[in-house]
Chain A
Amino acid sequence: MNGMVSRVEPPSGVRRNGPAPFWRVVRSELGWVLRRPRNLLALFGLAMLPVLIGTVLTLTDSAGSGPSLFAAMAGNGLVLPVFSLMMTQNLLLPLVTAMVAADALAGESAHGTLRGLLLAPVGRVRLVTVKAIGVASMIVLAVGVITLSGVLTGLTVVGGDGLVTLSGTTLPLGPALGRVALAAGWCAVQMAAVGAVALAVSAATEHPLLVMAVTVGGLIVFGVLEAFPNLEWLKPVMLTTDWYSISDVLSDPIRSQDLLTGLWRACCYILIGFSAATARMATKDT
Chain B
Amino acid sequence: MRRRSIALTASAGIAAGALGLTSLALPAGAQNPRLPTTTPQELVASVLESGRAPAMAGTVTVHNRLGLPALPGTEEAGEFLSGGQKSLRVWSDGERGYRMSVPTSQGEVTVVDDGNTVWKWTSSERTVVKHHTGEGEPGTRRDDTPAENPAELARGLVGKLRDSSEVTVDGTTRVAGEDAYELVLTPDPGERTKLREVRVAVGAEHRIPLRVEVNTNGSGEPALSAGFTRLDFGRQDPELFQFTPPENARVRTADPEEGNHPEGEQRQRANSTSRLVGDGWDTVVVSELPRQATRQEDTAEREHAGSPENPRGILDTIGEPISGSWGHGRVVDTAAGTAVITTDGRVAAGAVPRQVLTEALRNS
Q: Does A71 interact with chain B (Cβ within 8 Å)?
A: yes
Interface flag for A37 (CB, 8 Å): no
Give the residues in chain A near B11, CB-CB below 8 Å.
275, 279
Q: Which residue of A lies closest to B105 (CB)?
A: A68
Closest Cβ of chain B: how far from A134's Cβ, in Å?
A: 19
Check if B24 sits within 8 Å of A282, measured CB to CB.
Answer: no
Within 8 A of B (CB), among A154-192: 164, 166-170
Chain B residues touching A, majority SS? mixed
A255 within 8 A of B: yes
The answer, among B106, B230, B243, for a CB contact under 8 Å with A168, is B243
Q: Contacting B14 at CB < 8 Å: which of A251, A275, A283?
A: A275
Asked whether any CB of chain A lies closer than 8 Å to the CB of B28, the reply is: no
- Please state if B20 and A271 are interface contacts (CB–CB under 8 Å): yes
> Is A257 an interface residue when CB atoms closer than 8 A count as contact?
yes
Distance in angstroms between the alpha carbons of A276 and B10 in the assembled complex: 6
- Tally chain B residues at the interface, Cβ within 8 Å: 43
A270–B126 Cα distance when bound, in Å, is 39
Given A251-B108, A265-B24 in contact, is the A168-B6 Cβ separation under 8 Å? no
Q: Flag if A279 contacts B247 (CB, 8 Å).
A: no
Given contacts A166-B107, A265-B21, A271-B20, contact A64 B245 (CB under 8 A): no
Kindly state the separation between the CA atoms of A272 and B245 in the bound complex, as whole angstroms. Answer: 46
**Of B30-38, B117-125, B151-159, B324-332, the one with at least 4 CB within 8 A of chain A:** B117-125
Min distance, Cβ A175 to any Cβ of chain B, angstroms: 13
* Partner among A69, A167, A283 whose Cβ is within 8 Å of the Cβ of B3: A283
Question: By the criterion CB–CB under 8 Å, are B14 and A276 in contact?
Answer: yes
CB neighbours (8 Å) of B107 from chain A are 68-69, 71-72, 166
Smallest beta-carbon distance A272→chain B, Å: 3
Q: Encode B3-23 as 1/0 by CB contact (under 8 A) with A.
A: 100110111111011101110
The 8 Å CB contact of A237, one of B14, B21, B124, is B21
Cα A274 to Cα B13 with chains together (Å): 8
CA distance A64 to B124 in the complex (A): 7
Q: A275-B10, A279-B10, A282-B10 are in contact. Are A167 and B108 (CB under 8 A)?
A: yes
Closest-by-CB residue of B relative to A168 is B121
Check if B108 sits within 8 Å of A257, measured CB to CB: no
- Encode contact with A along B238-253: 1 for CB under 8 Å, 0 otherwise: 0010011111110000
Q: Which residues of A contact B20 (CB under 8 A)?
A: 264, 267-268, 271
A51 CB to closest chain B CB, in angstroms? 23
**Structural contact, A71 and B106, CB atoms closer than 8 A:** yes
Given contacts A270-B17, A278-B6, A282-B6, 10 further A-B contacts (CB under 8 A): A166-B110, A255-B103, A269-B17, A272-B21, A276-B10, A276-B14, A278-B9, A279-B6, A279-B7, A282-B10
Chain A residues with a Cβ under 8 A of chain B:
64, 68-69, 71-72, 74-75, 124-125, 164, 166-170, 233, 236-237, 251, 253, 255, 257, 261, 264-265, 267-272, 274-276, 278-279, 282-283
- A-B pairs, top 3 by smallest CB distance, nearest first, are A275-B13, A168-B121, A272-B17
Query: 25 interchain pairs (CB within 8 A)?
Result: A71-B107, A71-B123, A72-B123, A74-B126, A75-B248, A166-B108, A167-B123, A168-B110, A168-B119, A168-B243, A169-B244, A170-B246, A236-B21, A236-B25, A237-B21, A264-B20, A265-B21, A268-B20, A271-B14, A271-B16, A275-B9, A275-B12, A275-B17, A278-B6, A278-B10
